[in-house]
């Protein structure tokens, strides 16, 4: 039996124009080159089938 993964950490992501987004940090991975890669979830809005909008999160993994 394995332990469940820890919940994602809430972090602040600064944007080049000075805005800040609250995102979720799911994991970080150090590459062979020594650089770090981070998998984050970014909040956004998406359209629904009925033509409305709803909050969602975009994360690639």
Question: Would the pLDDT of 33 be above 80?
Answer: yes
- pLDDT value at residue 2: 85
Nearest in space to 24 (alpha carbons), one of 35, 38, 36: 38
d(CA 23, CA 41): 6
Residue 61 binned pLDDT confidence (cut-offs 50, 70, 90): low
Q: Which two tokens stand for residue 2?
A: 């394995």
Cβ atoms 59, 27 nearer than 8 A: no
Q: What share of the chain is helix, strand, coil (3-state, %, to 5)?
A: 0, 60, 40
Element (H, E) at 2: none
Q: What is the pLDDT of residues 36-58, one digit of tens each?
A: 999 999 998 999 999 999 999 88
């Amino acid at each position: 039996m394995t332990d469940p993964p820890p919940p994602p950490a809430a972090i602040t992501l600064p944007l080049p124009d000075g805005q800040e987004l609250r995102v979720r940090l799911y994991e970080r991975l150090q590459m062979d080159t020594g650089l770090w890669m981070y998998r984050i979830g970014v909040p956004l809005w998406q359209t629904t089938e009925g033509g409305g909008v709803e909050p969602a999160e975009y994360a690639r993994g």
